[in-house]
Amino acid sequence: MVEVKHYKRTAKKSFSEVMTDYPAAHPNAPIVLVNYGPIGDILNCIPLSAKARCVTVEHLTVLNRRAREEFRDLVRKVIGRPVRAALEFGGTTRAKRAVAVDVSRSMAPVLSDPRFSSALAATAVAPHASEIFPIDRRVHTAVSVEQAVERLHSIQGDINALEAPVTELLGTYEEVIVLTDGLNDLSTLRSASEEFAAGSCFRVTVRRPEST
């Protein structure tokens, strides 16, 4: 159970009431109170029996990465990691492959290379998904093939740490084609690589591990 507040200042009485009433109404649920501004130490004001299920996240704003990641982790503890639905072609055939492009900082020269843009458009067609997943240390929002060149340039990439986002995509797709300028991050995954776009980067095909 999540209660969202938009107060610029702490409201101890109001916040304490939330953390008292919600645990009583939902005796088996974890309770999270988030606020745009500060919350303060209110957990000492609630019944001891409910305290173990109550968490607060203050200063939850777009610019506060720490708070956003803390809230994300709390949600994932309850519902798990998000699963992206594979696309369908013609309403019948489910896509088994996805295309992901490394947008970390080192890829900036590659993304500006016209050879890369042409090669990317040729790669992201059926039977591959018609969307492209930008990745660095996480999976960004998918972009369409038509918008890919412009949108990939606009993403302010983070560090190159591709194993986690590729593993996340493999939760939905049997195979992920990764376009990247480095191979070390994917060395622990079952993959095969080749030069791509006239040698400007690598095309790495990563396959989901077979069930045992």
Residue 212 is assigned to a structural domain of this protein: no
pLDDT digits (tens, 9 = 90+) for 171-210: 888 889 999 988 888 888 877 888 876 677 888 999 887 7
Q: Is 153 helix (H, G, I), strand (E, B) or coil?
A: helix
Choosing from 32, 51, 79, the residue where a domain stops is: 79
Structure-block tokens of residue 55: 């968490």
Please state the rounded mean pLDDT for residues 7-18: 90
Range with the lowest mean pLDDT among 31-35, 54-58, 89-93? 89-93
Specify whether 32 is located in the same domain as 105.
no
For residue 47, pLDDT over 70 is answered with: yes
Query: Counting every residue, how long is the chain?
Result: 212
| Number of separate domains in the chain | 2
**pLDDT on residue 80:** 76
Domain of residue 61: give its range: 2-79
**pLDDT on residue 90:** 43
* Cis peptide bond upstream of 127, omega within 30: yes
Specify whether 159 is located in the same domain as 198.
yes
Specify whether 179 is located in the same domain as 116.
yes
Put simply, whether the predicted model's pTM sits higher than 0.85 gets the answer no
**pLDDT on residue 81:** 66
pLDDT digits (tens, 9 = 90+) for 71-103: 988 988 888 765 555 544 444 444 678 899 999
Choosing from 49, 79, 109, the residue where a domain stops is: 79
**pLDDT on residue 97:** 81
For residue 142, pLDDT over 60 is answered with: yes
- Reading phi first (left if > 0) and then psi (alpha if -120 to 50, else beta), residue 90 is in left
**Residue type present at position 60:** L
